[in-house]
Amino acid sequence: MPQTIRRAVIPAAGLGSRLLPLTKATPKEMLPVGDRPVIEHTVRELIASGITDITIVVSGGKGLIQDHFRPNPALVAQLREAGKTGYADAVEEVGELSRAGHLTYLDQHGPYGNGTPVLNAARNFGDEPILVLWPDDVFVAEVPRAQQLVRAYEATNCPVLALMPMDRADAPRYGVPVVKEDLDGGLLRITGLVEKPTPEEAPSDYAAIGGYVITPGIVDELREQTNRWYEHRTGEVYLTDAINAYAGSRAVYGQVIQGSWYDTGNPLAYLTAQFAAALADPAYGPHLRRLAQGLGTGAPEPV
Ligand code: G1P
């Protein structure tokens, strides 16, 4: 019987170098997509998927994340007194996420590489499967991406990776799965991941998009990699390497996610995500559509 997934990790210690100078003082996780920071989309997605314990792994300079989610009763009271009920409710609701997702923060420590924050958090989780979501991806989906991953885990009792169909030209930006078998409902049996291959070398037309169900066996692989790192002090600790080591002898699945996906990890993708979110908002969409139609035809340029 697969265990219930209650815990999730959001690695949020990265520098956001691809978005500099935007991310010089502002954590990339705090950049807005629509009317809220990108990490709030991730936290809401996890809570909507039944996750009750979320660990956000941070580093120096990421205090704004904690400030954003921390309840602020004084501000709420001030807004209510001023009759600004809508704003008061909005601030209160964000603070409430902290309780609903039992948000805790952990300082990242250990070797470079995206496996380190996962191992830092997993140490506190015992023998439970956990969800890992990078906070660079925003999904608009009827069933949240995290829930689609949980369902795939429940069906297989094995580690699962979130996948999206990809244009081969984009392969050098992603981990690309080696697909062994195409099952029903977008579930794929995979035998490993090739990290950032050339378009010619890409083993499939899918990208791993920063959502994973990790089982204790994968955490063991991360631990081994980390121990080796401390022996030799070279290289980095990557989740992909741990998944590949695990998949060498045990089953791993990919789940093709149903929904629209917006990457926010590079400038063009981030602008696209912002634009799409604004277009989807009934308050701004019609105006922006008119504006976009008028561009280049003598209508005033936006400032
Ligand atoms: C990481 C993973 C890669 C995945 C990507 C998705 O790469 O290593 O497999 O496709 O996230 O965003 P990064 O973007 O950190 O270089």
Query: What pLDDT digit, counting tens, does each position of 177-191 carry?
Result: 999 999 989 999 999
CA distance 259 to 183: 19
User: Which of 175, 184, 136 shows the shortest CA–CA distance to 38?
Assistant: 136
pLDDT band at 210; cut points 50, 70, 90: confident
**What's the confidence (pLDDT) of residue 279?**
87
Give pLDDT tens digits for 229-277. Answer: 999 888 899 999 999 999 999 999 999 999 988 889 889 989 999 988 8
Residue 185, sorted as left (phi over 0), alpha (psi -120 to 50) or beta, turns out to be left
The tokens describing 113, both together, are 């590489």
**What's the confidence (pLDDT) of residue 298?**
58
Lowest mean pLDDT among 39-43, 56-60, 73-77, 287-291: 287-291
195 lines ligand 1 (CB under 6 A): yes
**What's the confidence (pLDDT) of residue 49?**
95
**What's the confidence (pLDDT) of residue 85?**
97
What is each CA distance from 58 to 55, 106, 272, in whole angstroms?
Answer: 9, 6, 26
pLDDT band at 300; cut points 50, 70, 90: low
Q: How many CB atoms lie within 10 A of CB 192?
A: 19
**What's the confidence (pLDDT) of residue 242?**
96
Which residue of 173, 193, 225 sits with most ligand 1 atoms within 8 Å of its CB, as the best mutation to test the pocket?
Answer: 173
**What's the confidence (pLDDT) of residue 294?**
81
Which residue of 28, 57, 134 sits with most ligand 1 atoms within 8 Å of its CB, as the best mutation to test the pocket?
Answer: 134
174 lines ligand 1 (CB under 6 A): yes
CA distance 95 to 71: 4
163 lines ligand 1 (CB under 6 A): no
Percentage of residues of the chain with pLDDT beyond 70: 97
Given the CA of residue 239, which atom of ligand 1 is nearest to it?
8
Average pLDDT over residues 110-139: 92
Q: How far is the centre of ligand 1, averaged over its atoms, from the C-alpha of 282 (Å)?
A: 32
212 lines ligand 1 (CB under 6 A): no
pLDDT > 80? residue 16: yes
Average pLDDT over residues 24-48: 94
pLDDT > 80? residue 169: yes
pLDDT > 70? residue 161: yes
**What's the confidence (pLDDT) of residue 277?**
86
Total number of residues shown for the chain: 303
User: Which of 150, 122, 133, 147 shows the shortest CA–CA distance to 12?
Assistant: 133
**What's the confidence (pLDDT) of residue 89?**
97
CB 110 within 8 A of CB 116: yes
CB 127 within 8 A of CB 218: no
CA distance 230 to 95: 39
Give pLDDT tens digits for 60-86. Answer: 999 999 999 999 999 999 999 999 999
What is each CA distance from 199 to 4, 21, 163, 206, in whole angstroms?
Answer: 38, 30, 17, 12
Please give the CATH superfamily to which domain 7-265 belongs: Spore Coat Polysaccharide Biosynthesis Protein SpsA; Chain A (3.90.550.10)
Which residue of 136, 164, 174, 257 sits with most ligand 1 atoms within 8 Å of its CB, as the best mutation to test the pocket?
Answer: 174
pLDDT > 90? residue 280: no
Mean pLDDT of the chain: 93
Q: How far is the centre of ligand 1, averaged over its atoms, from the C-alpha of 210 (Å)?
A: 6
125 lines ligand 1 (CB under 6 A): no
**Residues with Cβ within 8 Å of residue 92, at least 6 apart in sequence:** 71, 76
What secondary structure does DSSP assign to 58-99, as a single string? E-TT-HHHHHHHS--HHHHHHHHHTT-HHHHHHHHHHHHHHH
Indicate the angle between helix axes 38-48 and 85-100, nearest 10 degrees: 60
Percentage of residues of the chain with pLDDT beyond 90: 79
72 lines ligand 1 (CB under 6 A): no
Given the CA of residue 210, which atom of ligand 1 is nearest to it?
6
Give pLDDT tens digits for 127-142. Answer: 899 999 999 888 888 9
114 lines ligand 1 (CB under 6 A): yes
